Every structure is written in C-alpha cells, then in structure tokens.
Amino acid sequence: MPKVVLAYSGGLDTSIIIPWLIENYGYEVIAMAADVGQGEELDPLNEKAIKTGASKIYIEDLKRELVEDYIYPTLKAGAIYEGKYLLGTSMARPLIAKRMVEIAKKEGADAVAHGATGKGNDQIRFELAVKSLAPELKIIAPWREWDIRSREDAIDYANARGIAVPVTKERAYSMDRNLWHLSHEGMDLEDPWNEPKPDILELITPPEKAPDKPAYVSIEFECGIPVKVDGAALDPVALVEKLNKIAGENGVGIADMVENRLVGMKSRGVYETPGGTVLYQAHHELELLTLDRATMHFKELVASRYAELVYDGVWFAPIREALDAFVDSTQRTVTGTVVMKLYKGNCTPAGTKSPYSLYNQELSTFSRDEIYNQRDAEGFINLFGLPLKVRALMEKNAGLK
C-alpha cells in the first residue's frame, strides 16, 4: 500500500483529511504533528490520529529549531511584512515541511499532504519547501480537490464520521499558534470595519486592562541574537516564552491588519506577537546605536525583500541564503543591552548601550566642544548642493523658471 505523510495538527482540516485520503486515494496515512510551541497538549493527538485512521503518528519537538534557524535569522534581518506582520506562521511552515520530507524519506512514502486551503499562503509555503527538498514527492492538497467549500462543510463532514474537532460553527476562527505568535482570521474579522471582539485575545491582555504601572525589561544581544533577559541567560525557547509572558501581561504585541496575500487577494488578520514585538523593537534600537548610516539604510531595503521571501515561502532558496550572509556581516557589532518600557500596549526604548556604539557625545553635544569645526559644514553643503545649484542656474538661463 502506498504511503503519504500528512502535516497534522489535530485541528478541523487535518482531522478530516486522514479519512479523506484513505477513502479517495487508498493511502496508508502517516501523521506528523510539529510541536512549534502551540501551547496545547500534543499527547492526545496520538490517540486521535490513530482513531481517525492514521497508521502511525510522529510528534516532533521543533521549538528550538524554529527559534534558532528561522526566527533569529528573520529577527536579525529586521524583516516585517507590510510594516506589521512579524511572520509567525510564515517562518514555521518551511520548518514543518522540512521535517515532513525527512519522515517521508524515512518511511518510504511517495507523497506528502497538507491542510492548507487553495486561497491561502500556506499551500505555497509547504509546497515550495517540498519542491526544494524532495522534488520527487507527490503533493496532495485536499482543499484544491474535494467538494468541501467551507469550514461549515468541513464540520459537517467530521460530524458524519464521528470525528471530534475543536471548533464549532458559532466560533470557527481560523487560528494558528506557535511559540512566536497566534493568528486569528475569518468570521467577523472578514469585514475590516469590524473591531475585533474583546475576547479574541489569548496571549495578550487587552491594553485597557493591562497594569497601570509600566514594566521595564532588559534584553542583552550578542551579534544580533538575544541571549539574556533581565540579566539572566536563557536558552532560545525559554527566552521567547519569558518575553511572551512579560509583554503579554502589559498588552504589547497586537497587530490588526489587511495584508496582501501572494495569491492575489487581500485578507484581514489579527496577530498576537508579544515577545516578538519587544525583540524586534529592542533589536532595532541597538542597530540605531551600532550601525553606520549607509549600512543601516541599505539593510532596511534588505529587510523588506527578506520579509517578502519569508512571507512567500521562498525559504530554501539561494537568495535567502545570500541575504543571510549580508545580514550576518552587519550583526558583528550589534552587541549590547536595551531596556524597553512596556505600558498598556506601548513598547518604547528606555536605554541602550553597546561596546560598539557609534554615538559620540562629544560630536553630537549642543554644549561647547573642541573636535567639531562648525565652519566645515559650509564647504560640505556647497559641494553636496552643487548639482541642485547648477540645475537651478540652467533653468533660469533657459527661461524655464
């Protein structure tokens, strides 16, 4: 019997895909559940997957790999999609696909399957990773084949087969959670005019209910990578978890946005990224102190392109590796400590220091100094503005002005 490895979450879509693959393809289904820090108990998935028809299930702890190999490179790049989205789902998908391919090779499977819809970005992220790592594998995307057209239809399909699913027709938000974030889409959020309901947040305290006193958190970086929080050295997973707790309690990290999907449509989502928001802003503050103007401005261009690559699922590609090389070269001096002030949803810097600081108080002071000759500025301005002056004279002589 041919085998297929299914990226399995135990949610609505992947729960009904197991019997669907058996009924429509005659495959032996091997489920693979990735623990990327979704915070839910994964052990019940073992029984659930087997009960639903899978021959076996792999439950893989990928949290540390997610942080070290995907989150940290993206953080160092400063990549934020369309100014708001910190790429939580986007970074996790290529990692999950990579492990799925590894299991497919181990099990001798000739196909892999996923539960991403034909309207979303995840189908692209999963499949580009598979094509990059194992082009010989067949890819099955049930949402592009079956007659099910809505989450309501999927719930009916599950109920008809006695499959327990963690959603109802009354609360059927499409949600994705990992160590970095929690996303919410669908239902009332599909109308951008609707403010998110107060009870939608799970990781973050609503800002208006956050503490009335600010919290201060100190983050120490080495070569662009966070290594300590409040003076305590933490492993990557524990560090993100600690910042999630501190930031979440203070209402920090909510992004409500209408984004441009790669498939051509706009979609609206609400993202909770508490610890990630603090890390991005702290990292940026440290770069302001340690990177020269030309490097920083060019890196901002790289950040935008890097974000698009991650969002589009082009992780396993030469261009992403090449951009990583550039980013890593810029991070050699991004070492130091940043204190962030968290207060009712706001996250602002309260102090930055680095042994590689390019800030020179003697140069920038408004007080008397002995190392900057202000008369030098006149010659600089004359040369810098010479092209503008020459053009203005030409326009005047030509009667254009």
Q: What is the pLDDT of residues 130-140, one digit of tens each?
A: 999 999 999 99
Mean pLDDT of 69-75: 98
- Confidence at residue 367, expressed as pLDDT on a 0 to 100 scale: 60
Catalytic-labelled residue, pool 174, 267, 320, 354: 174
Q: Does the pLDDT at position 33 exceed 80?
A: yes
Q: State yes or no: 183 annotated in a binding site.
A: yes
Q: Does the pLDDT at position 353 exceed 90?
A: yes
Q: State yes or no: 14 annotated in a binding site.
A: yes
Q: How confident is the model at residue 152 (pLDDT cuts 50, 70, 90)?
A: confident
Q: State yes or no: 218 annotated in a binding site.
A: no
Q: State yes or no: 150 annotated in a binding site.
A: no
- Confidence at residue 41, expressed as pLDDT on a 0 to 100 scale: 64
The reply to whether 261 belongs to the active site is no
Q: How confident is the model at residue 209 (pLDDT cuts 50, 70, 90)?
A: very high
DSSP state of 207: G
- Confidence at residue 365, expressed as pLDDT on a 0 to 100 scale: 58
Q: Does the pLDDT at position 170 exceed 80?
A: no
Q: State yes or no: 125 annotated in a binding site.
A: yes
Q: Does the pLDDT at position 396 exceed 60?
A: yes
Mean pLDDT of 63-83: 98
Mean pLDDT of 274-289: 98
The reply to whether 93 belongs to the active site is yes
The torsion angles phi and psi of 195, rounded to 5 degrees, stand at: -75, 140
Q: State yes or no: 90 annotated in a binding site.
A: yes
Catalytic-labelled residue, pool 99, 122, 176, 177: 122
Q: How confident is the model at residue 151 (pLDDT cuts 50, 70, 90)?
A: confident
Q: How confident is the model at residue 63 (pLDDT cuts 50, 70, 90)?
A: very high
Token digits of residue 92: 């996790």
- Confidence at residue 363, expressed as pLDDT on a 0 to 100 scale: 65
Q: Does the pLDDT at position 392 exceed 60?
A: yes
The reply to whether 122 belongs to the active site is yes
Q: State yes or no: 121 annotated in a binding site.
A: yes
Q: How confident is the model at residue 350 (pLDDT cuts 50, 70, 90)?
A: very high
Q: State yes or no: 25 annotated in a binding site.
A: no
Q: State yes or no: 364 annotated in a binding site.
A: no
Cβ atoms of residues 173 and 268 within 8 Å: no
Q: State yes or no: 13 annotated in a binding site.
A: yes
Q: Does the pLDDT at position 190 exceed 80?
A: yes
The amino acid present at 288, given as its one-letter code, is L
Q: Does the pLDDT at position 168 exceed 60?
A: no
- Confidence at residue 400, expressed as pLDDT on a 0 to 100 scale: 87
What would you report as the CA-atom Rg of the chain, rounded to the nearest whole angstrom?
A: 25
The reply to whether 368 belongs to the active site is no
- Confidence at residue 163, expressed as pLDDT on a 0 to 100 scale: 84
Q: State yes or no: 311 annotated in a binding site.
A: no
The 8 Å CB, 24+ separation contacts for 240-244 are 240/37, 240/67, 240/71, 240/179, 240/180, 240/275, 240/276, 240/279, 241/37, 241/179, 241/275, 242/275, 243/217, 243/219, 243/274, 243/275, 243/276, 243/278, 243/279, 244/179, 244/203, 244/274, 244/275
Task: Compute the distance between CA of residue 266 and CA of residue 262 in angstroms, rounded to an integer.
Answer: 9
Domains and CATH numbers, the chain: 3-62+91-172 (3.40.50.620), 181-291+334-353 (3.90.1260.10), 368-397 (no CATH)
Catalytic-labelled residue, pool 35, 43, 55, 93: 93
The amino acid present at 70, given as its one-letter code, is Y
The amino acid present at 56, given as its one-letter code, is K
